[in-house]
Amino acid sequence: MGKEDRDQWIVKCPKCGRVEDSCRHVSRDDVRRILRLLKAGVEVFPADEEEPETPEPHFHEPVHLAHVVAPRYTWSDLVLAPATREGLDDALTELRHKTLMYKGWGLRKVVKKTKGISLLFAGPPGTGKTMAAEAIAHELGKALHVVNYAQMENMWVGETEKNIERTFAKAVEDEAVLFFDEADAVFFRRGFMTTPWMNRDVNVLLSHIEAFPGVVILATNLARALDKALDRRIDIAVEFPLPDAALRRELYRRCVPKQAPLSKDVDFDALARKYVLSGGSILNVVRQAMRSALKRGKRHRITQDDFLRAAERETRKATLLAQDHLAPSLRQERIRGYA
């Protein structure tokens, strides 16, 4: 049978006859695993028949389960609402005084183990979550390990579990801060939507998070959709809301370099009041305004009109993306695309 035919496999329950779906007899995980193994070319044949030719052996290639980031951002680079800053400050305070809290003040006896700390950063795209993770690692003088889910997840039984173990072991060895970006891809509330991850692997991941002696940070745009089992494992949840007008003005001030040739009419305050945009979007606005000015010629200054047009454009883009986020079918596609 050719490889292209394998996409046509259909799983049928012998008891109730349901096709390619879960039922009372075959769980959703079973169906998913069966289909994946069939697609990967796993064959079933009676023991007395001749073994079919093996096309190519299955190698376990070394994979990069997390990439190591030397933190570029520091605490002072962050422009944050007071509540967000306070949450991050709480986390840093506990990390700096962990020994006193757990040993000196005896918290270890109550919590029953030497604990690391787990943080959840929740908020819309471009609000500084990745940046804050880097800043925390920087403050602590540690490297940041950004987890690569696509590499970690493996359809062979037990492989994902081993990969998860390796990832955490490496982070312990390097004393790194472990960062799960887009955590919703894995920790989607069970039964809420299908994820490419098996329940058992999610449980393994959760227990490792609980036992991790260091700092683990999870970031998501969709906190409400996260697995309830995750809640208990999160020590501090920090919200990253869209910046208010005052913060946006500060973001423009920081995102526009001193050397940039601004025309006299440029008014960050007006831009900040008019357009509700994240820090990431403001950075895009600045770049787009620079491009517009450059298209007129290298000696041209960047005008308020360049900024206004760029901000209009960015606002339209943000609206489109927000719609995309709310559309469950699109979201599902994106998450499936993760596997």
Ligand X SMILES: Nc1ncnc2c1ncn2[C@@H]1O[C@H](COP(=O)(O)OP(=O)(O)OP(=O)(O)O)[C@@H](O)[C@H]1O
Contact residues toward Mg ion (CB under 5 A) are 130
Per the rule left: phi > 0, alpha: psi between -120 and 50, beta: everything else, 274 is: alpha
Please identify, using beta-carbon distances, which residue of 133 and 205 lies nearer to Mg ion: 133
Residue closest to ligand X (Cβ): 279
78 binds ligand X, rule: CB under 6 A: yes
Q: Pick one of Mg ion, ligand X, none as the site partner of residue 283 (Cβ within 5 to 8 A by kind).
A: ligand X
Pairing of strands 177-180, 117-122: unpaired
* Strand residues in 166-294 grouped as ranges (E): 177-180, 215-220, 236-239
Cβ atoms of 76 and 231 closer than 8 Å = no
Gap between the Cα atoms of 295 and 17, Å rounded? 64
Q: Does residue 119 sit in helix, strand or coil?
A: strand
283 binds ligand X, rule: CB under 6 A: yes
Q: Pick one of Mg ion, ligand X, none as the site partner of residue 116 (Cβ within 5 to 8 A by kind).
A: none
Question: Nearest approach, Cβ of 130 to Mg ion (angstroms)?
Answer: 3
Please identify, using beta-carbon distances, which residue of 180 and 188 lies nearer to Mg ion: 180
Q: What angle do CA 161, 162, 168 make, to 5 degrees?
A: 90
Pairing of strands 215-220, 236-239: unpaired
Range in contact with ligand X (rule: CB under 6 A) among 73-81, 89-97, 170-178, 260-268: 73-81
Q: Pick one of Mg ion, ligand X, none as the site partner of residue 195 (Cβ within 5 to 8 A by kind).
A: none
Question: Nearest approach, Cβ of 188 to ligand X (angstroms)?
Answer: 16
Gap between the Cα atoms of 163 and 63, Å rounded? 9
Count Cβ atoms below 10 Å from residue 4 Cβ, excluding itself: 7
Q: Does residue 262 sit in helix, strand or coil?
A: strand
Q: Pick one of Mg ion, ligand X, none as the site partner of residue 128 (Cβ within 5 to 8 A by kind).
A: ligand X
Question: Nearest approach, Cβ of 116 to ligand X (angstroms)?
Answer: 22
284 binds ligand X, rule: CB under 6 A: no
Question: Nearest approach, Cβ of 329 to Mg ion (angstroms)?
Answer: 24
How many residues line the site for ligand X (CB under 6 A)? 17
Positions 140 through 179 that interact with ligand X (CB under 6 A): none
Q: List the x/- string, 117-146, binding to ligand X by CB under 6 A.
A: --------xxxxxxx---------------
Gap between the Cα atoms of 148 and 133, Å rounded? 16
* Residue ranges binding ligand X (CB under 6 A): 77-80, 125-131, 221, 240, 251, 279-280, 283
